Structure 1
Amino acid sequence: MPLSIRELFAAADLNPAGVVKWGDLTIPNVPGVYCVSWSANAEATHVNRDVYIPSASAYTELLSICPRISVDGALATPSKLADRIGRFWIPNEPVLYIGMAGTSIRARVGQYYSTKLGARAPHAGGWWLRTLESLDQLYVHFATCDDASTREQSMLAAFAASVDPGHRSQLFDAERVAPFANIDVGRGLHKHHGLTNYKIPAQSTKVVNATELFDNSLAELRVHSQPVTDKDRMRSYLRIPAESKHAFPDVTALLQVVLDGVRVDVTWHPNNSRSGTLGVGTAYMRGLRERNERLQINASKGIYTILRK
């Protein structure tokens, strides 16, 4: 029988300390563990989610970024990808992901929110979650603790032991069992899924420091985003106009960006002659309420700080 979130935390000698909606960062800035769930109720053992419902655009978007994705060695199509990942769906299970944060739950969950499909970092391990149609219906439960890695392993083991044998037998990999979005099921163990080339090649994505961006004699660069429209607020990225792109790398890169006081790594795409894009995540973009606001961005020593009015 599926375990409730409270029972999963109890398997690690913890009690849930709070819950927020997906996209909310009202979370402690301390080490701990967390669960992503369909339910805000820590006692729930069942939700009405019997089948995998992927986003209509997620796989098309992913293949546009990583066109060499393969399934069992053959080039993938959106339907083949959805079929394979759907084989890891556990019907009516409340918990979709179990994670840990060695330094800050807030920062780690913020990285999860902001990591785009195809990105290698900062939180790519649970990327199957981002293929779902209804991310805005999810909740994040958390507990603060030391030794977060060991606690996470206890929770993953308890989850695997609780999965109904009938459901387990239908999984593509019935041996390495974990919540749907946990591709890593333990230290050094990964689900056998048959997928390859589903991340941007390592040579085209890097963490950029200040010396690679501009002359060290320049203490700070101040630029602006494009005006944020109603349409922009429904996207996961902030548009950067041509006149501001001199403050950014001329290649796809991972940049350290401060969003509402929390530093996260986000993906930057220069997009040739078009506006560049910073993948700050849907939660941040939807929080921008002033119509046609241009956000100030300060670039200093390799750190990008986005300022709201």
Structure 2
Amino acid sequence: MAVSIHKLFSDFNLNYSKPIKWNEKFDAKFNGVYVIAKTNDPNTNITEHPKFGICEKSFGSWIKEATELKVNGKNQNGIDDITEHLTDFWNPNENILYIGQSSSKTNPIQKRVGQFYSHKLGQKGPHTGGYWLKLLNCLENTFVYYAAAKNPRDTEFKMLMKYIEYSTGKSFYELKNIGNYLPFANLTADFYKEHGIKNATNKNKRKNAR
């Protein structure tokens, strides 16, 4: 069964938002944590859109930017190869795809998620973390949930650990390569998902935001 959004937020006594459809703006001028999932029902344990697929247009945009993309040391530019590789990290039994946080006073949740919306694959910012999410062909059917948190970074880490525990039914002490059990688009959390992808962004220097 899928880890429910309600259970994950409730375990940390967080008062979370209603589901916000991907790309919709919302008012959250505070710091906290957010979850991106494939369901608009925070209580469900039933998986939606279980089949993995990559959007061809998004993939094409990515490889135009990431011209030196490598997977396990080999040059890669074919969608079939990337799809096969990323399928190994896709959990068809889960709805939660990404858990993130906003901790900067100048970058509240609404701005941070907005940066995720606008992020272009292969570029160095503004939201490189979680870029696998932008490849999905089900992206338009995802939803954002958010909540205020006093210590967003610490809360995000604890939520990731709790997600792994619920998803696997095991303590993280019992798991090898724990990073591989993170939500699909989370690639790091004080440890790394061993995914073998290198040079996922272009070589341009990131311009200062204005």
Q: Work out the CA distance in 2 between the residues paired with 1:144 and 1:41.
A: 20
**How do residues 26-45 of structure 1 correspond to structure 2 at under 5 angstroms?**
26-45=26-45
2:84 equivalent to 1:114: no
CA distance in 2, matches of 1:29, 1:190: 30
Gaps of 5+ in 2: 170-175
Map of 2:92 onto structure 1: 91
CA contact (8 A) 1:59 1:82 kept: no
Question: Where is the helix percentage greater, Structure 1 or Structure 2?
Answer: 2
2:102 and 2:112 in contact (8 A); partners too: yes
Contact 1:66 1:198 in 2 (8 A): yes
Indicate the SS of the match to 1:183: coil
- Displaced runs of 4 or more, over 6 A: none
Partner of 2:201: 199
Residue 175 of structure 1: aligned partner: 178
**Contact 2:2–2:47 (CA under 8 A) maintained in structure 1:** no
The residue number in structure 2 matching 1:290 is none
Identity of matched residues, %: 27
- Return the structure number with greater relative CO, CA threshold 8 A, min gap 6: 2
Name the SS of the counterpart of 1:45 in structure 2.
coil
| Superposition CA RMSD, Å | 1.7
Question: Which moved further from structure 2: 9-18 or 114-123?
Answer: 9-18
- Does the Cα contact within 8 Å between 1:49 and 1:92 map onto a contact in 2? no
Q: Secondary structure of 2:178's partner?
A: coil
* Paired amino acid for 1:86: T
122, 128, 134: which is aligned to 1:130?
134
Shift of 1:174: 5.3
* Higher Rg of the two aligned structures: 1
Tell me the TM-score normalized by structure 1: 0.61
* 1:1-309 superposed matches below 5 A: 1-78=1-78, 79-102=80-103, 103=105, 104-164=108-168, 175-176=178-179, 177-184=181-188, 186-187=189-190, 189-201=191-203, 204-208=204-208, 256=209, 303=210
Residue identity in the other structure for 1:99:
G
Contact 2:32 2:150 in 1 (8 A): yes
Q: How far off is 1:5 after superposition?
A: 0.4
Please list the CA deviations of residues 183-223 of structure 1 after superposition, one character each: whole Å capped at 9, or x if unmatched: 11x22x1100011011112xx22224xxxxxxxxxxxxxxx
Match of 2:173 in 1: none
Please state which structure has a larger fraction of its residues in strand: 1
Where structure 1 has 5 or more consecutive residues not aligned to the other structure, the ranges are 166-172, 209-255, 257-302, 304-309
Can you list the C-alpha shifts for 1:120-159, whole angstroms capped at 9, x where unaligned? 1111110000101122211101111210111111110011
| TM-score calculated relative to the size of structure 2 | 0.88
TM-fit CA distance, 1:31: 0.6
Is the Cα–Cα contact under 8 Å of residues 38 and 94 in structure 1 kept in the other structure?
yes
State the alpha-carbon separation in 2 of the partners of residues 66 and 30 from structure 1.
Answer: 33
> For the residues of structure 2 that align with 1:8 and 1:31, how far apart are their CA atoms?
18
